[in-house]
Structure 1
Amino acid sequence: MPRAGRCPVRRCPGYASRVTRLHDLAITVGAAREMAGHPIVVGISGYGGSGKSTLARALIDLIPDAVRMRGDDFLDPSRSHRRSATWAGVDRSQLVEDVLRPFREERPSTFRRFDWAVRDLGEPEDVPAGQVLILDAIGLFCPDTDDALDLRVWCDVPLDVATERGMARDARLGRDHVALWRDVWMPNESDFDRTFAPRERADVLYTG
């Protein structure tokens, strides 16, 4: 059985496969699950606006017995709206200890997602069971999660392009986040890049 945190389809350290079609990515996920011999966690990351959530929603429909976790459910808005070189607003500790490791080890656990309607943590929920957990989140590929992700997929969109897309999306939704994108989120991404090199940690670079 592959060591925890190792992608069984990675060929050598520092190498990432480039995938351009959703169907091929689904095949890669299936192969990783087959080789692992246990339920796996697929992390999807990238810059804000790079298409992480869109990819996760599309992928889950192609993977048998898959469940999805949204990274937004593990964001602390008070901290995620501040400058941070480590994306401190992402509660990676709860993600790993309460969700990812229990899922991979097939043991019961509960977690509390952030309820954006009331801006507070919700009631405890059971971690869903399945064979593949797909998690899309910013600030995901770093030492905090190294041993809890079986396959790392990076949405390979340049920072400036992703930021433009994210700002356009927010404008369509009536959200005035221009200052946050310019003064907080884009600098946070650049700092996280320099600190952790998340793209280089990926097993798959997705450009579909």
Structure 2
Amino acid sequence: MDLQELAGLVTARRAAVGRPIVVGISGYGGSGKSTLARELVEALPDAVRMRGDDFLDPVRVHERSADWDGVERDRLATEVLRPFREGVPGEFRRFDWDLGRFRDPEPVPRADVLVVDLIGLFHPETLPLLDLTVWCEVDLDTAVQRGMLRDRRAGHDHDRVWTDVWAANERDFESAFGPREVADVRFPTG
């Protein structure tokens, strides 16, 4: 599958559902989720992206957990996914990583398609709120190497967190929830 085929699938799903839809893009850290989300939004006529990084707890995301506990799925579901799908106004707060605090509330965007890219997204808490799920298909070792390189280029040395915490969290999450298996689409990013 390529980007145009994926965009066609999203368009068809939107038409079939008859209301704005949420496309969830997940995969390992470093798998290319954000890149795919940006490209998909550009390929669709009325789509917006919600950055998953805005829904990470800045402390817990750096800790070991079997279910990616640092992903604030409840906040994402309550503040964004439910209001968007129901077509009702809502507000959410992005986390500002540079300032280390939440920004002022802003309205949930309105569009035909909301694309959300986030680690640990295909979890029982959020999966029912996603109309189409896309897994970024790349092996974990490659994703970890990409993530470490990206962080180094941005001036961050998170190598130990990548290898000791995040890769282990990915393996545990995969074992518990099978995100790759529940995805509607496995999109090659490797």
Task: Compute the TM-score of the two structures, normalised by the length of structure 1.
Answer: 0.89
Q: Secondary structure at the match of 1:147?
A: helix
The equivalent residue for 1:62 is: 43
The equivalent residue for 1:165 is: 146
Partner Cα separation in structure 1 for residue 122 and residue 5 of structure 2:
22
* 2:104 alignment partner, one of 119, 123, 129: 123
Map Cα deviations across residues 21-58 of structure 1 (whole Å, 9 max, x no partner).
Answer: 11111001101100001100000000001000000111
The equivalent residue for 2:3 is: 22
The equivalent residue for 1:132 is: 113
Partner Cα separation in structure 1 for residue 27 and residue 149 of structure 2:
17
Q: Secondary structure at the match of 1:117?
A: coil
Map Cα deviations across residues 119-140 of structure 1 (whole Å, 9 max, x no partner).
Answer: 1111111101111000000000
Map Cα deviations across residues 63-110 of structure 1 (whole Å, 9 max, x no partner).
Answer: 111111000011111000000111111110011111011111110011
The equivalent residue for 1:104 is: 85
Map Cα deviations across residues 136-159 of structure 1 (whole Å, 9 max, x no partner).
Answer: 000000100122000000000011
Larger mean Cα displacement after TM superposition, 160-169 or 185-194: 160-169
Q: Secondary structure at the match of 2:135?
A: strand
* 2:68 alignment partner, one of 79, 87, 100: 87
The equivalent residue for 1:34 is: 15
Per residue, is there more helix in 1 or in 2?
2
Map Cα deviations across residues 155-180 of structure 1 (whole Å, 9 max, x no partner).
Answer: 00011111111111112222101110
Q: Secondary structure at the match of 2:69?
A: coil
Partner Cα separation in structure 2 for residue 104 and residue 115 of structure 1:
25
Task: Compute the TM-score of the two structures, normalised by the length of structure 2.
Answer: 0.97
Identity rate, percent: 59
Give the root-mean-square deviation of aligned CA atoms. Answer: 0.8
Q: Is the 8 A contact 2:121 2:127 kept in 1?
A: no
Q: Secondary structure at the match of 1:205?
A: strand
Partner Cα separation in structure 2 for residue 22 and residue 146 of structure 1:
22
Question: What are structure 2's unaligned runs of at least 5 residues?
Answer: none
